[in-house]
Amino acid sequence: MQSELGIEQLQEAMSSGRASARSLTEFHLDRIERMDRSGPELRAVLALNPDARSIADDLDAERRRGAIRGPLHGIPLLIKGNIDTADGMTTTAGSLALSGHVASADAFLVRRLRAAGAVLLGKANLSEWANFRGRRSISGWSSEGGQTRNPYVLDRSPCGSSSGSAVAVAAGLCVAAVGTETDGSIVCPSHVNGIVGVKPTLGTISRRGIIPIAHSQDTAGPMARSVRDAALLLRALAGADPCDPATHIPIAARVMDYAQGLVAARLDGVRLGIARDLAAGRPAVNDVLEASIAALHGLGATVVDPIPLNVPDALRASELEVLMHEFKHDVNTYLDGLGPTAAVHSLSQVIEFNRAHREQVMPFFGQEAMIEAEARGPLNSPAYREARATCRRLARDEGLDAVVRTHRLDAIVSLSGGPAWLIDHVHGDYGVAGPSALPAISGYPHITVPAGFAYGLPIGLSFFGPAYSDAALLRIAGAFESATRARRRPRYLRHATSRP
């Protein structure tokens, strides 16, 4: 069995009897055993599901009876370690403060995956607390799971916070995975690990049962090796949740089948704006952008190059203020609802736990973000309300909405960032910023697709646009992917080279 096969290819193999949910599960569990803790020591997986084999057996029995639930029936997936499952796995966000905690209920998205017939192999490692703990955080490091490594070049960062999800997909430890994003946490790890990542419009996927940072920006999303696989996974994840008001989006904006529109090979009539200033890079990186623009031209798209788009300092400051206030409120609400398996039930208790276990929890960086959040006021404070209003105005009204309207765009295009930086446990992350802020703060969709290589490291191309344009972005990204076929398998190099 090849580790690069897509969802539909695997369905065909199971339908013909050449594979089964059990054989696929065994294949991926064996690959995790060989590559995650030994071999290249990717450390992409936090925990394995003790029920994975029995779930696969049950799904195979259903298939023999002719009861196939859909495209994900029998497909092995991983989910990020901050997503609740009420089974034999813990939900910890990579933190020792939540070690041993077993959720009392599945996250809403987990219920949908189970109903769709997916086999949950386990939980993926992540940047601890989804990268919301200290100022000098290290992407892919958690006190529970250790350091996740980029499979293309092992001394390079996997980016965060959905590091383990991205690495596992890139290395073939699962067919696809689920990550979460507040600002860049799906897009960046997907970009530097050479896969497709989708941050959908806020409210497309329920937030219930995910350890939160900020309700105004948090969302889960699919991570896969192809646009089509990402679209199939998004279809299973998306749905209205009676307990999450953000998912009650207009019926006209709902898409029943995100993969349906991926058949078009050209982009005639599509207008794309190039936002060069959001992720400028070295010549080898900019060469990827120029080749990508040429490919989009070749597909028939009308390219507006460049478009004026930036992230004002006032927006960055307001976003931080919003995240601080919402983190205090949202994580306290989540922790307060935990049962007796959890050792902490408030942000202040997490802070004290980290101090008491400093050597294990904070050997490389501290918890300044948590301490600053704890000092913030409630969500009815003037500081929060003003910051939230500024975010909406600058990211939406005067930001993405204004640019899309002025230039009559279907989508905005940018490099997803620079090549992965060296893992540095002394200084922390220092990667080149990408274009994630505007779509993240606005709550609008953002997709990254492999576009090429620089210095032997993957470079992604981003497509983002207005609210509920997810299906249109997937069609554009799919056409680009089909024309370029830029993704290559990782080689697990020890050091970067100048060759792809």
CA nearest to 170, candidates 347, 282, 284, 4: 4
> What's the burial of 188, exposed, middle or buried (CB within 10 Å: 0-12/13-18/19+)?
buried
For residue 47, give both structure tokens: 């925990």
From 95, 162, 165, 185, active-site residue? 185
CB-CB contact of 209 with 86 (8 Å): no
3-class SS at 329?
helix
In angstroms, the CA 316 to CA 391 distance is: 8
Continuous segment of H or E residues that includes residue 452: strand 446-454
**Strand (E) positions, 125-195?**
141-142, 146-147, 176-181
80 in active site = yes
From 80, 123, 199, 328, active-site residue? 80
For residue 338, give both structure tokens: 């935990």
In angstroms, the CA 28 to CA 44 distance is: 13
Q: Is the peptide bond before 306 cis (omega within 30 degrees of 0)?
A: yes
End-to-end CA gap in the chain: 25
From 161, 163, 414, 442, active-site residue? 161
**Type of residue found at 185:** S
For residue 151, give both structure tokens: 């499979």
CB-CB contact of 168 with 159 (8 Å): no
54 in active site = no
23 in active site = no
In angstroms, the CA 106 to CA 330 distance is: 18
CA nearest to 484, candidates 294, 299, 295: 295
Spatial strand order in the sheet of 446-454: 45-48, 119-124, 76-80, 176-181, 219-224, 196-199, 446-454, 457-464, 411-415, 271-274, 302-304
Note the Cα 479 to chain centre separation in Å.
21
Indicate which residues carry an active-site annotation. Answer: 80, 161, 185
